[in-house]
Amino acid sequence: MAAHPADLRLMILNLPSPPHKIVDREYAGGFGIARSLPRIRRRHSGRPSLNLFLPYSTAVAKETGCEYKVLDAQALKLTATKTLQKTKRINPDIVISMMSLPSIYEDKKLLSDIKAELPNTVIVGCGTVCNVMPEEVLHGSKIDLLLRESFPYVNGIKRLLTSFQNSKEKTKFKDLPGFSYKKGSKVRNNPPKPPEKQFVDYTPVYNVLPLKKYQYFPDLEGKEHLFIPILGSKGCPHSCMYCPYPIGFGRKPIFKHFKQVVDEIERLQQMSIEGFLFRNQSFTLDQKWAKNICHEIINQKLDISWFCEARVDETPRTILALMHKSGCKTIDYGVETGDPTLIGTAKPGVHLENTYRTFETAKEIGIWRHAHMILGLPRENQQTLKRTLKYLLKLDPDSVSLNFATPYPGTKLYEIAERNNWIITRNWAYYSSFDVVMTPPNLNAEDLYKMAMQIEKSLLTQKAKYLLSSRLNINTFKLVANHYMQIIISDLRFKKRIHSFRKRT
């Protein structure tokens, strides 16, 4: 018998992070990254980013007319036990959650526990791990269905809800395109739907979320801005060997109309949100679109602060100046390496001189420059690592993320690492981007950890010396003291990682 839409109870669940970690499931192309919580907690360090899977899924639920509840267990800092209790009280017909690689074991366990307590509830997982490795996700779990499509999964969720409203018999909707499920001991993968050609036509629903509990980003004026992500486009056509963006978000870029994007920002501003992250894989991939966004923000006189990801070869001075005028405070750049040979492999089309000029231009304009680095790429060795350190000291970014080369399943890097036996663990909990899980020839894990520690220490020391030479006052001494405290914390953090690595190997 068909279910009336209002009788269908959907729970959109953002699963809790594993203990002592914060998982950002949307990052790394939807595979997710995992940050360890510092023992000495810095301000805002324990906050997750808002996962756009939540407001977009809510928009689909709202359109279909079903009853829905949204629970962000991360933002509310719920344990697995508390999350299970709240889910039992809601007693939904369907639970849908986005899963990630570094939290896969905890995600599987909690969803299986929910199924054990609510056997009539259909448990659905989505995420890049579900696209690429459905057998791994379904093996040993009680999850009913996996949705295999690109972020933010709205079309598949609509197919699921529509089918469920037509029939509550699970056998009916297990024939849906783009879903996987277990039949006996075997995993069945239904044929996928073709990729979208236009941007998802849904207006994300934010008012059901605890918007004040998410992350902050800094600017050059020393301010921190609570931010909400905006999905202006999805898809990346670039062929960086390590990058899972094309796997999780699609290879063909599709864009939301710039007026829709800015209208979405204006609605959030009316909800007292002043900070934003453009979740485009590269904000300036289409420079005409990027200019239209900036001009529309300026024309509507929106007093906002925002940041984005971009490539150095796609942000000339004119674009940077316009972005800054419209409120851009920070740009995350994929610098990756400081070695002139490795950069050609890591980021085709980018040269170190280009990166340096772009960083200098952004500094002149007044934009915070964040550098994402990858240590341990193929052909990495002690000399290339030293060149990266020297280059970073010259580049002098305002902040840096030191990531280790991670062979995400489905990427070219995974194929190369597997073929050459470079992968040292397939314990997915360590695929966090901050743990060493592969080592190229002539390097071991401790070499990489020690170089990361040296880079962080050298950059902090350089900044402290610059502050002392530029001006002497009480605020300067406070900043210098903070830098040296960060050096101590960094040393302890990396020594702990080395000790943990030795224990597990």
- CATH of residue 421's domain is 3.20.20.70
Same structural domain, 463 and 360: no
Residues 471 and 421 reside in one and the same domain:
no
Whether residue 161 sits in one domain with residue 22 = yes
Asked if 307 contacts 277 with a C-beta cutoff of 8 angstroms, the reply is yes
Domain count, the chain: 3
Question: What three-state secondary structure class fits 111?
Answer: helix
Structural domain contains residue 211: no
The answer as to whether 242 is a domain residue is yes
- Determine, yes or no, domain membership for 256: yes
How far is residue 73 from each of residues 135, 193, 293, measured CA to CA in Å? 26, 31, 33
- 160 vs 164: CA distance, rounded Å: 6
User: Is residue 39 predicted with pLDDT exceeding 60?
Assistant: no
CA 393, CA 41: separation in Å to the nearest integer? 27
**Same domain assignment for residues 436 and 491:** no
Distance CA 428, CA 266 (A): 39
The DSSP bridge partners found for residue 89 are none
Q: Are residues 175 and 291 in the same domain?
A: no
| CB burial of residue 39 (10 Å; 0-12, 13-18, 19+) | exposed
Same domain for 181 and 241, yes or no, is no
Q: Using CA atoms, how far apart are residues 400 and 426, in angstroms rounded to an integer? A: 27
Q: Domain holding 96: CATH number?
A: 3.40.50.280
Torsion of the alpha carbons at 463, 464, 465 and 467, rounded to the nearest 10:
90
Length of the chain: 505
From 392, 408, 443, give the residue that closes a domain.
Answer: 443
Please check whether residue 448 lies inside any domain of the structure.
no
* Domain assignment present for 405: yes
More confident residue, 378 or 184: 378
> What residue ranges in 129-246 does DSSP mark as E strands?
145-147, 179-183, 186-189, 216-218, 224-230, 233-234
Confidence of residue 1 (pLDDT cuts 50, 70, 90): very low
- For residue 259, what are the domain limits? 217-443
Report residue 72's pLDDT band, with 50, 70 and 90 as the boundaries: very high
Instruction: Please report, to the nearest 10 degrees, the dihedral formed by the alpha carbons of residues 412, 414, 418, 422 taken in order.
Output: 110
Confirm whether 86 is domain-assigned: yes
Of 161-165, 293-297, 362-366, 407-411, least confident by mean pLDDT is 161-165
Distances (CA, A) of 10 to 64, 100, 113, 209: 11, 21, 18, 16
202: in domain? no
Which secondary-structure segment (H or E) carries 56? helix 53-64
Residue 252: is its pLDDT beyond 50? yes
Cα angle 282, 286, 292 (rounded to 5 degrees) comes to 105
**pLDDT at residue 225 tops 90:** yes
> Is residue 152 reached through a cis peptide bond, with omega within 30 degrees of 0 on the bond before it?
yes
Q: What tens digit of pLDDT does each residue of 358-368 get?
A: 999 999 999 99
Helices 445-470 and 382-395 pack at an angle, to 10 degrees, of: 20
The residue assigned the tokens 């405070």 is 329
Burial call 441-480: b when 16+ CB within 10 Å, e when fewer: eebebebbbebbbebbbebbeebbeebeeeeeeeeeeebb
Is 357's pLDDT higher than 60?
yes
Mean pLDDT score of the chain: 92
Say if residue 383 is in the same domain as residue 419.
Answer: yes
Kindly indicate the confidence band of residue 480, based on its pLDDT and cuts at 50, 70 and 90: low
209 assigned to some structural domain: no
Does the pLDDT of residue 32 top 50, yes or no? yes
